[in-house]
Structure 1
Amino acid sequence: MTGKEIREKFLKFFEERGHRILPSASLIPTNDPSILWTAAGMVPFKPYFTGTAKPEMLRVTTCQKCLRTPDIEEVGRTARHHTFFEMLGNFSFGDYFKEKAIPWAWEFTTRVLGLPAEKLWISIYLDDDEAFDIWHREVGVPAERIVRMGKDTNFWEIGVGPCGPCSEIYIDLGEERGCGSPECRVGCDCDRYLEIWNLVFIQFFRDEAGNYTPLASKGIDTGMGLERVASVLQGVNSNFDTDLFREIMDYTAGLVNREYGAEKKTDMALKVIADHCRAVTFAIADGALPSNEGRGYVLRRLIRRALRFGRLLGLNEPFLYRVSGAVIRQMADVYPELPANKDHVLRVIRSEEERFGETLAQGTEILNRLVQEARNAGRTVIDGREAFRLYDTYGFPLELTREMAAEEGLTVDEDGFAAAMEEQRERARSARQETEYLSEAGAFYKSLREQLGETRFVGYDVLETGARVLALIKDGRPVKQAVAGEEVEFILDVTPCYAASGGQVADHAGVEAPALEVRVTDVFRPVEGLFVHRGKVENGILKENDSVRVKVDVARRRDTARNHSATHLLHKSLKEVLGGHVHQAGSLVEPDRLRFDFTHYAPVSPEEMRRVEEMVNGAILDSLPVETEITTLEEARARGAAALFDEKYGENVRLVKMGDFSLELCGGTHVRNTAEVGLFKLISESSVGAGLRRVEAVTGPGALRYVSAREEQLAHIAELVKASPAEVVARVEALVREHRELEREAEGLRARLARFEVQSLLEKVRELDGAKFLAARTTAPDMDSLRAMVDLLRDRLGSAVILLASPAGERVNLVAAVTGDLVLRGLHAGKLVKEIAPIVGGGGGGRPDMASAGGKDPSRLQEALDRAYTVAMGQLKG
């Protein structure tokens, strides 16, 4: 079976058994800062297993794209290590349990995939007799092929939250794939027994104290690696030999006229390129971008590792974006986000490839310095940690470092390199956050929701309502009351307050009752359906069960709504002006401004900014009605609604429509008519990463304040240049021309003065063992002028050492130069200024032929100049 056939058969099998087929979630986890990537099929469903959200269907099946990075360096070396892979899974959220999950797994494996039952082995948790009985008595697996294993391998738990035992299906690939040990069995590290499917039975809740409580609603979470199963069914020894990889590797091999399978070194390079290109292609399509931190750093590292292996094949020009095109062609019918974002993906990868070329040049310069330092110190070995820094910081391959060092007669301390590599891996392992089902705080709020019920949000329709105080929380613990002056969290049965989400900040509000005033400054939803208000008691005592009146800050809500509606108009306008590749990559909606991040590859020109601003204001002037409706996600997408790549949407979604101009999925608050947005002004545009731009804007009262401030500035400038506001531009242009002319005249005068001063300085030249020596004070106003004067003197003097100094306010500038013949005799400009500068309270250094320094004590300048001759004589060799 092909990989595509396996994928389709799996999803169809479980659809026939009442499961809803859901598309793969994004590789960027939704609302989960604890992890960088979606690394398992269960990640999108964590809220359902923890109970922080309610599933709209109890049975689900997916083929989830996953990305894991703990063992990047192993990719290409082994048969099964990958960064990107696809995980097939079926899930039950409180519906069926072991009694169905186990027989279905056996049926799919043996009947649909056709794997021989006699070669399948089962592992279960040590004391999971329930699983043993189902596997043995109901399914018919012989008892001797059911292996009980310990907690470290067959019990799934991470911190506080739901957990449970696991059961795995292994296939025996034959003695020839084994290690030859008589103890070889399921669980051995060799390749004989291959795990193909893991069934997790979520049946307990682990608390902070380590106690396990049976769950009333049990769950099933399974994962089958598509690449592994494909390797078994296609009868190959490596995942890379399956059709999931061969098409990509053969394409890359064709770029260099090589053949996969002919040479081990070539094969490894092709494997790394195929795996890493799959990972970065999917990640960029899901909205990630290369950068120097977080998931962006992971992408940059993967791209550069692939490029390094490409260079081993002779691919020195950008090529990875072409391989990415092959990935998209192969996977387009399964993952529509790939062709939809093709231009964006290829452009980002190519841009990163070109950036790497510049980085490689930097690395070469640093390596040349390391070679020179080793020679100067009489060493024949490049320090391993320095070689690793080149690799890790600049993406410089060890192979290239080794090759270039060998050309200079040097070697590389590869043991030191390996030690530094292992230290970095250990740091990564220590820093890597595991996927937690539920934090301690999350468990606390979940228990509150179960106890109190969900908060009813009425803030779309009303901004004031009566409510009852259900609970108060202080320092993470329930309290009965809060007195004046205390800050406290509290939960109401009903609220008009919008909780921060989707980039929109929370409402502020007042909570009142007789003799009670509370000022709410934040509202958040720690678990689905529960609104937590945070505020300060300003007067009286807030108590549990109080009846109160909640009043949203109307002006703040109105201004925030203006800015939120404006982001929708802005998003659409950017797409129209810049192109369909523009996608929202984040936003911040506050009462006084809005910030909008989006994918684009170049600065937005002033003309493009003007067109975007005109388009938004045109939509505002058209007074478009703003309407909302609840519909299905499928229907919203069919109508072309824009959705954020990093948002998770349920079966039913809220659609915000602004005339025929904009259609987006959104849970935020909005104006009723675009005319209410008022004036829209773009105030800035900048880069926030490779292929990522940011604009900021103001609307309504904020835009009026902005325009008013600019008018005041214009009036002030007009006053300064003695012109009316209408004549300011012409007057400033005339002043600029006049200033440039004066600058040219001044520059000419400075040059003439410098020549005169050089002439006088020549009279101070001394002999230095057959060469010329000059150390003198000058009137040069800055370091550039000082260097220019040194150059003039060097041209006049021939073989010479020169040290010029000039006071600059409270500081001293020093520049030294040594001609090439004297460098060969031991004189070194950098060492000269390094020894002289401390006399004037400073420091500096530089190359043997040119160096500079600064100081803070002009009073000792002559002493420093007098010392220079002695230092130069000491450096001179014969």
Structure 2
Amino acid sequence: MASAAADGHTARTWPSDRVRQVFMDFFRERGHVFVPSSPVVPHEDPTLLFTNAGMNQFKPQFLGRVDPRSPLYSVKRAYNSQKCIRAGGKHNDLDDVGRDTYHHTFFEMLGNWSFGDYFKAEAIAWAWQLLTEVYGIPGERLYATYFGGDDALQLPADEETRALWLRHLPPGRVLPFGVKDNFWEMGETGPCGPCTEIHYDRVDGRDSAAGAPLVNAGDPSLMEVWNVVLIQYNREPDGSLRRLPARHVDTGMGFERLCSVLQGTDSNYDTDVFAPLFAAIQCETGCSAPYGGRVGRDDAEGVDMAYRVVADHIRTLSFAIADGAVPSNEGRGYVLRRILRRAVRYGQQFLQAPQGFFHRLVPVLVQRLQHVFPELAAKQDMIMTVLADEESSFGLTLKRGLERFRVTANALQAAGQTVLPGHEAFFLYDSMGFPLDLTQILAEERGMTVDAAGYQEEMARQKAQSAAAHRAKMGNAGQLVLGAEQLAALGQRGVPLTDDSSKYVWYENPDAKVCAVYTVEHGWVERVGGDGEALAGVVLDRTPFYAESGGQVADRGRLGDHFRVLQVQAYGGYVLHIGTGSLAVGDVISAQVDYDYRALVAPNHTATHLLNWALRQVLGDVCDQRGSLVDEQKLRFDFSFTRALTTEEVQRVEAECRRLVERDLPVYTAVTSLQQARSVRGLRAVFGETYPDPVRVVSVGVPVEHLLERPQDESWMQYSVELCGGTHLRRTGEARAFCLVEEGAIAKGIRRVAALTGRSAAESIIAARALSCRVLSAMDGPAGDGLSALTEALNAASISAAEKDALRQRLAQLEKERKRQSKALATEREKAWKEAVRQQCADIGSGGGDQRYVVLRVDTEGDKRAMQNLLREAVRRCPTAAQVMLISADAANDAVDVVVMAGEASPPNGNADARRQDTLTSEQWLQATLRAWSGRGGGRERLARGSVSDASQAERVVERARKVAQGEA
């Protein structure tokens, strides 16, 4: 195969930075405005998991909904390099990454847009010009595709686009395709339209008869490089197409693919875009073989596939985290967690990477791309922390998954079976993060296969359950409760009360028996499931799940392999597991708590106890708890207090909590009688709350047994001791960080504080440091420089409330100081300028120059008001002058400012007899002086202003003015 190198393209002549910049320059020269890449996390667009195309941020333009106050309102043409992620949702390339050499989950999309401006003709002509004339790609290697029409959509073939391409290509290289390939849609809804693609043939000399069948066929030797979307419709929620009021152009060219073409490589991954990452991967994994670019059978050991997976995924995760997403159990966070686990697993399995290798690749990526995307450098520490935590967590999950597979495979083979059931493969994927290809590899190593069809059925069932999950939260989940009638029915059926004593035990999934199943539609039933849509409540004989209580959200998880638990409630001793899926009364299932989710909740609950104690230490016993909310994102704590906390008090509360986290104190729990518990000095309980007897005591830093031995010991006031039934950390240090981000009133005499722990708190602390650095930097800038933007950023930041207040005070002081400095500086400058005028006038008065036409040079830094004041001063000091000219170089605007004012010796207006024939007016002198530079200016005979567009010409303007006054020019 002959690559593009045969045409003179190499990495030396076309490094990736040059490829990107040439694209930018091309469209800037054609009237396009640069619009920075939007984040890969579309926080304001709930229809998308990730930004998957450059046009995402321009949806309002396409739909005609741009806010007139938006800076994009007047933009008709735009260009940029957009960060994109295609993993999950309509456009999902995740499973293809690594298997070939051209798929990515993260990539840059070079794009140019027209919003109701130019359309097909210009977009196609410019694409051809850029590719063939600027980048020098041979036209005989290109194919163009166009929309061939669709009867179902009642859309005709795009013959106009075909005709435009026939100006550049022969008919055999202009090919029609249907909706799948040439009708582009951003998502399930939104702007869309037919598209025309440009494909590049890597094989030199191949004729169209041989190449045409490979277009859109997935052949790596003939690949798409550019897509021009002709946006004319909007896909409505009901699936219909609505024509838009204006036609738009949305183009996208894969940056990595273009680099491959221009650098003469056979793969996107063989370019300088990935070379530094591959070197870092080899270094961090200790792999003996460098990246070799092999695929399929040539890569039998999967080494090069793993290189590609790891390199691609570190890019995806780094950009996603930098833009505000983190791995989690839901939505885009779940997709990111899957991507991370896929990368770590490939690195460990095929490259023999040590645990913790993945996050150490971040600095290389940051160093390579920070000049294009500076947000990577700003968030580098946070990215590495998040990835390190996820890697550590996955290490245990991977070990459990491999053990699960081993036990299952042994049992199947012992029974003479060689096919791993689809539901088991899906369980490994869903619960252990094992993608199907890993399970297939593990099975193949043991001479087994995987029921892929069964796996896909389980995947479809999960999607149905996910759809039902939203309805469960927003729909009739609130109706699924056990009232008096239902509880009585359970007693009549002989169903025992649920034993939930194991809810405080972590990382155990005990077997439990399904005792009863309840639905809103049918009441008590023997089984539920089939389509995975039905919402049901399940009662077990015992459970490790924590039911919602005391302000803490419930656990989530699974019952067996086919029932997803979305909510858990307790009624009269029965624990109801609410969710979707299939199971039956009498089933013995594994009750599997999602401990990753609980691990996000527990730090917030333990920190709530620390906060409660710290408030008492700072404010005294007058503050009593009035409520709390603990979930996976934050903690919220309400307490009685008659006034707002001062900044110092908020700071002290936060400092106490952080100190307890840093001390890494053990958290003790014990069950004792309510009477004994209440006897402990310093015990905290919620006012008005009814507690069980016996009751659970949670103590931080001192064993409960010691408290009960000497319940009235004064020293117990130095410890957090509470009645609590929630799930907690083993040690305070596991919370990692604490940040109190909010303090305010919710009712008269009731205050509310909110705080973050763990990763969220760490990110908040990093953000506070960054803002503090910006404030410090502002102190070195010009007066008032950036203070308004900095104030807005501070107001929007989720950082420590005390630090935010302190930074606000510093900004206020800074602004006050800047105003003072600015005023003082202005006074000093005007004093210096006046002295310069005095000295120059004195020189002229002593015979140093023409006393009728006075030319002065004082640089006033563009201050027009000061120039006029200085002219008045000069006129006063030069009483014999007919005209006075002041010339000032303005470096900031690269101009020379000129002002002329009639002097005291100038004849009065209208007195022609008194005016000498050789006397110049202010306007005449100005125009004659500026004429040599085609300068602009004008005015009246006694006052005129003008300028020259080159600050370096100031002295020449002075010379010219004097010659004009002397009649020499």
Identify the structure with bigger relative contact order (alpha carbons < 8 Å, sequence gap 6+). 1
Question: Greater strand percent: which structure?
Answer: 1
- Higher Rg: 2
Question: TM-score, normalised on structure 1?
Answer: 0.49
